Amino acid sequence: MTLLQVEGLGISFGGLRAVNDVGFSASAGEIVSVIGPNGAGKTTLFNMISGVYLPDRGRVMLDGQDVTRFEPHLLARMGMTRTFQNLQIFQDMTVLENVIVGFHLAERGHLLADLLALPGTKRRSAEVREKAMALLTRVRLDKAAEQVAGNLSYGALKRLEIVRALAMSPRVLLLDEPAAGCNAVETEEIDAFIAELAATGIGILLVEHDMKMVMRISNHIVVLDHGEKIAEGKPDEVSRNPEVISAYLGTVDAEQDEQDEEDEKEATHAVG
Amino acid sequence: MDALMQFLLSGMTVGAVYALVALGFTIIYNASDVVNFAQGEFVMLGGMITVFAHAAGLPLPLAALIAIVLTALVGVALNKLAIEPARGAPVVSLIIITIGASIVIRGAAQLIFDKQLHRFPSFSGDEPIRLLGAAILPQSLWVVGGAFFIFIGLWVFFTKTLTGKAVLATANNRLAAQLVGINTGWVMTLSFSLSAAIGALAGVLVTPITLVAYDVGVGLALKGFAAAMLGGMGNPKGALVGGILLGLLEAMTAGYLSSQYKDAVAFIVILAVLFAMPQGIFGAKRTERV
């Protein structure tokens, strides 16, 4: 069953077509990876799907409903959320509080009951605390629960961001370079964790530079280069595709390509 | 001794008003990083609308309620018409927009109302209460009580309710708040209306003592800003303490030095805070993670 469907998505910044006519789909429990050289438009594509950028062209369908141009908070309520390559953490809150915020949609209570701190409110808070701790334990952050998030290492914050997203019980989860900046052991852990999540039926969309990881855990791979989809398919198909190999390793006119990439990087940087 | 007591009491009264203005600053600053210089106009609107609604024959409590609601709507309009369309602009631009908005509101008030000084009767009469050798107006008690009531109300709202926590989350990281499903646009609207309503309430409480005219907002905004800076921008506790401290400083200066220098105190405070401790009394040291 198709959970997320992306059709002909495109956006231009000034005259530059950062992403052009990209489409693919993801089902429940499937891990779909988006790969491509630096500046290929992977993060821009993610930003459009998750409502951070408004696409110029194309559609995003979530469970058959058109959610193009929906704001991130609405998408979160509909079961789609994401993590960021450069982290979006509540730095001044504790680690536990960060996860508890993720539960807030489920924690809806009456304003009056909250104000009076009625037993129902207290019970709900205690339950949420417990669930948040359970999530933290899964990524070995339970010992750091009471620390201010800003003090944690980059790798730990990456894991924290993922469990905060999980607190919302999403149906579709977009992970932007979850293993970036993590060491080999941490990468392997995240790797196993993502596979575990997919096994519970969450559709996962992944941008990752670690090719070994991508090839190991993906069900389906979409390859972008210069904002266009140049290939898609199963990991072993994609890794043998000559176009993909040339995008990564360069061809005879590689120097020109590199120049283009630089331009694109600058352009996406300017708007990001 | 009697004189000191008198200065303390009048300082508390003025300080409570500054604290209310500073609380207004704090709420909007927390939600959007914007220092809203139209905050003083909310106080003015609260006073002016009450005056004219009361003059039109409405009972005072009803007139005050109408003033607070209307001012809250002005706050929402300010956000929708001036701040939201400029979303993504640098914070400094947004601050300049609020200065522009304050000029517009002041001009409109001058046209719609008039240029006269106004007041309405005190809530509990004008018979001074004797207290430890000093005299205090019953209305002063209303002002001080009102400030504490609002402060406690805000504290409960921000620490005990999910909505209040959503505002804090938005203040901490807007994008992250959106990702967990918080409607940050709504949080902004809420913050502006709350802030405007608190400003208006301050206007309603203080008008019987200080009178109101279309142009009282500028001074109040600057004093409230000084108070917020002194206490630590963005911290409600800082707003309360900063406001009262500034009020006391002013009263002492007026009493022991010269009332001519009273208004200079706020500006000396701003400078001193910026030089000596830019984060204020309760402000957290900010470090940017790279």
Q: Does A84 map to a domain?
A: no
Residue A158 and residue A70 share a domain:
no
CA distance B15 to B66: 25
> From the CA of A251, how many Å to the nearest CA of chain B?
36
Q: What pLDDT was estimated at residue A254?
A: 47
Residue A73 and residue A13 share a domain:
yes
CATH number of the domain bearing residue A197: 3.40.50.300
- Confirm if A67 and A223 have CB atoms less than 8 A apart: no
Q: Is B181 left (phi over 0), alpha (psi -120 to 50) or beta?
A: left
Of A52, A90, A107, the CB nearest to B172: A90
Residue A268 and residue A174 share a domain:
yes
Q: What pLDDT was estimated at residue A253?
A: 54
Q: Of the candidates A169, A191, A218, which is a domain's last residue?
A: A169
Residue A227 and residue A175 share a domain:
yes
Residue A263 and residue A210 share a domain:
yes
Please state, in angstroms and as integers, the Cα–Cα distance from residue B232 to each residue in B29, B186, B202, following that order. Answer: 11, 26, 21
- Confirm if A227 and A260 have CB atoms less than 8 A apart: no
- B80 pLDDT band, cuts 50/70/90, is very high
Residues of B in Cβ contact (< 8 Å) with A105: 180-181
- Condensed to tens digits (0 to 9), the pLDDT of residues A60-103 reads 999 889 999 899 999 998 999 999 888 889 888 899 999 988 88
Q: What pLDDT was estimated at residue A244?
A: 83
Of A84, A101, A150, the CB nearest to B180: A101
Q: What pLDDT was estimated at residue A39?
A: 83
Among chain A residues, the shortest Cα distance to B286 is held by A92
Q: Of the candidates A130, A152, A169, which is a domain's last residue?
A: A169
Q: Which residues does B215 contact at the CB level (< 8 Å), separation at least 6?
A: B44, B106, B110
Return mean pLDDT, chain B: 90
- Condensed to tens digits (0 to 9), the pLDDT of residues B151-162 reads 999 988 888 888
For residues B201-208, average pLDDT: 94
- Confirm if A64 and A158 have CB atoms less than 8 A apart: no
Residue appearing with tokens 């108070």: B227
- Condensed to tens digits (0 to 9), the pLDDT of residues A8-25 reads 999 998 888 889 899 999
| Mean pLDDT comparison of A95-109, A239-253, B198-212, B259-273, highest-scoring range | B198-212
CB atoms B184 and A167 under 8 Å? no
Q: Of the candidates A148, A169, A190, which is a domain's last residue?
A: A169
User: DSSP string of B56-72?
Assistant: TT--HHHHHHHHHHHHH
- Confirm if A232 and A244 have CB atoms less than 8 A apart: no
Range of A18's domain?
1-79+170-272
Residue A18 and residue A59 share a domain:
yes
Q: Where are the alpha helices (DSSP H) in chain A?
A: 42-49, 72-77, 95-102, 111-115, 119-138, 154-166, 184-199, 211-217, 235-240, 242-249, 254-271
Residue A74 and residue A26 share a domain:
yes
Please state, in angstroms and as integers, the Cα–Cα distance from residue B13 to each residue in B6, B146, B217, following that order. Answer: 11, 10, 17
Beta bridge partners of A248: none
For residues A252-265, average pLDDT: 53
Please state, in angstroms and as integers, the Cα–Cα distance from residue B22 to each residue in A68, A152, B76, B234, following that order. Answer: 41, 33, 19, 9
Query: Where does chain B show beta strands of DSSP type E?
Result: 129-131, 134-136
Residue A174 and residue A255 share a domain:
yes
- B286 pLDDT band, cuts 50/70/90, is low
- State phi, psi for B75 to the nearest 5 degrees: -60, -45
Residue A224 and residue A164 share a domain:
no
- Confirm if B152 and B23 have CB atoms less than 8 A apart: no
% of chain A with per-residue pLDDT over 90: 33
Residues of A in Cβ contact (< 8 Å) with B162: 104, 107-109, 111, 114
Q: What pLDDT was estimated at residue B283?
A: 73
- Confirm if B157 and B195 have CB atoms less than 8 A apart: no
Give the total number of structural domains in chain A: 2
Residue B31: name the closest of B151, B156, B140, B191 by CA. Answer: B191
- Condensed to tens digits (0 to 9), the pLDDT of residues A140-152 reads 888 998 999 988 8
CA distance B110 to A74: 42
- Confirm if A13 and A270 have CB atoms less than 8 A apart: yes
CB atoms A93 and B289 under 8 Å? no
Residues of B in Cβ contact (< 8 Å) with A93: 169, 172
Among chain B residues, the shortest Cα distance to A152 is held by B289
Q: Does A205 map to a domain?
A: yes
Q: Does A201 map to a domain?
A: yes
Look up the ipTM and state it. Answer: 0.74
Residue appearing with tokens 């993670």: B289
Residue A45 and residue A24 share a domain:
yes
pLDDT exceeds cutoff 90 at B87: no
- Condensed to tens digits (0 to 9), the pLDDT of residues B206-253 reads 999 989 999 999 999 999 999 999 998 888 889 999 999 999 999 999
- Two tokens, residue B162: 């999910």
CA distance A185 to A193: 12
Q: Does A48 map to a domain?
A: yes
Residue B22: name the closest of B229, B277, B278 by CA. Answer: B229
Residue type, B96: I
Q: What pLDDT was estimated at residue B290?
A: 47
Residue A62 and residue A112 share a domain:
no
Please state, in angstroms and as integers, the Cα–Cα distance from residue B142 to each residue in A15, A94, B25, B209, B211, following that order. Answer: 62, 39, 21, 11, 15
Of B172, B182, B289, the CB nearest to A93: B172
